[in-house]
Amino acid sequence: MRTKKLSKRLSACLDALFPLKRIADVGTDHAYLPCHGVATGKLTSVIAIDVIDGPLMQAKATIKDYGLQDQIEIRKGSGLVQLAINEVEGVVIAGMGGKLISQLLLDSLDIAKSMKRLVLQPQSGESTLRRTLFDNGFSIISEELLEEDGIIYTIITAEPGKSRFDENDIRFGPILKKDPNNSHFIAKWERELVAVDEVLDKIPAGNPKRSEFEEKKQLIKGVIGHV
């Protein structure tokens, strides 16, 4: 059948897996990424995982529509728990908060470390996720920002292997911070500056909490080049 167009966000996640062929898609929802990946030859097999019955039924329907039942297996469960060590080469976890993705990795750290690559797309909490990766023996090899439907998404690609990092790496991204002129990077942190200013407007002078947000504001302005 003719393949359906994949969203920019999921297309970027799929591209970040290259050259891996056997992967798991955690939180697969409608199984669009697995089906597109296999149908276009970018992937050879996928284990599509979700914890909720509704999305699993939708995934099953999509897989049947593509005729890929022999190459895409559906499993019900949370995170990587349903996988065995070395069963797949890599994993995509997209569309969840960074705190939840972190917990899913920590719940099955031995399985996560057996993979060649993790492609992670947090909806929020990027700093939490980066800290979890760094603290547990992963290095970030790639980061990408893209905008779709007015939302700026962050895609983090990690591999097993320790690396040195500092607090700016955690907050801004070790790779993203190297290109502060990236338009999406600037837009993302300018939005954060607006949010910080809104909080500061509500904190009275003399409140000790105010210094925390003033420091955050100056840190962001320094990184994106504001005077």
Residue 45 has pLDDT above 80, yes or no: yes
> pLDDT tens digits, residue range 199-226?
999 999 889 899 999 999 999 999 988 6
The answer to whether residues 159 and 117 touch, using CB atoms and an 8 Å cutoff, is yes
Whole-number pLDDT of residue 5: 85
Q: For 145-180, how does the pLDDT look when each residue is reduced to its tens digit (9 = 90+)?
A: 999 999 999 999 999 998 999 999 999 999 999 999
> pLDDT tens digit string along 5-31?
899 999 999 999 999 999 999 999 999
Asked if the model's pLDDT at residue 70 lies above 80, the reply is yes
What's the confidence (pLDDT) of residue 149? 95
Residue 218 phi/psi, 5-degree rounding, is -65, -35
* Confidence bin at 4 (pLDDT 50/70/90): confident
Lateral strand order in the sheet of 22-26: 72-76, 45-50, 22-26, 90-96, 117-122, 151-160, 138-148
Per-residue pLDDT tens for 119-146? 999 999 999 999 999 999 999 999 999 9
Mean pLDDT (whole number) for 69-74: 98
> Angle, nearest 10°, between helix axes 32-39 and 8-17?
60
Domains of the chain, by residue range, sit at: 8-165, 183-224
Question: In the predicted model, what is the mean pLDDT of residues 40-45?
Answer: 97
Place of tokens 């699993």: 56
| CATH class given for the domain over 8-165 | alpha beta
The 10s digit of each residue's pLDDT in 94-107 is 999 999 999 999 99
CA 146, 148, 153, 158 dihedral sign is negative
